[in-house]
Amino acid sequence: MGLKVIITGATGMVGKGVLLECLDHQIINHVLVIGRTPTGLDHPKLKELIHTDFLDFGNVEHELTGYDACYLCMGVSAGGLKEEKYKELTYDFTLILAKTLLAQNPDMICIYVSGEGTDSSEKGRTMWARVKGKTENDLLGLGFKQAFMFRPGAIIPLRGIKSKTKVYQFMYDYFMWLVKFMKLLAPNSVVNTTQIGQAMINATVRGYDEKIIRPKGILELSKS
Q: Determine the pLDDT at residue 159.
A: 73
Q: How many domains does the chain have?
A: 1
Domain that residue 176 falls in: 3-222
In whole angstroms, give the CA distance from residue 78 to residue 76: 6
Whether residue 29 contacts residue 2, with contact meaning beta carbons closer than 8 Å, is answered with yes
Domain of 187, CATH number, reads: 3.40.50.720
Distance of CA 216 to the CA centre of its chain: 17
Whether residue 154 contacts residue 189, with contact meaning beta carbons closer than 8 Å, is answered with yes
In whole angstroms, give the CA distance from residue 100 to residue 103: 5
In whole angstroms, give the CA distance from residue 130 to residue 115: 12
In whole angstroms, give the CA distance from residue 41 to residue 51: 17
For residue range 133-175, what is the model confidence (pLDDT) as tens digits?
Answer: 999 999 999 999 999 999 998 888 887 776 665 555 545 555 5
Q: Determine the pLDDT at residue 154.
A: 85
Whether residue 144 contacts residue 101, with contact meaning beta carbons closer than 8 Å, is answered with no
For residue range 118-140, what is the model confidence (pLDDT) as tens digits?
Answer: 999 999 999 999 999 999 999 99
Q: Considering the chain, what is the average pLDDT of its residues?
A: 91
Please write down the HEC assignment for all residues of the chain: CCEEEEEECCCCHHHHHHHHHHHHCCCEEEEEEEECCCCCCCCCCEEEEECCCCCCCHHHHHHCCCCCEEEECCCCCCCCCCHHHHHHHHHHHHHHHHHHHHHHCCCCEEEEECCCCCCCCCCCCCHHHHHHHHHHHHHHCCCCCEEEEECCCEEECCCCCCCCCHHHHHHHHHHHHHHHHHHHHCHHHEEEHHHHHHHHHHHHHHCCCCCEECHHHHHHHHCC
Whether residue 160 contacts residue 192, with contact meaning beta carbons closer than 8 Å, is answered with no
Regions of the chain with pLDDT less than 50 = 170
Handedness of CA 152, 154, 116, 98 (dihedral sign): negative
In whole angstroms, give the CA distance from residue 101 to residue 92: 14
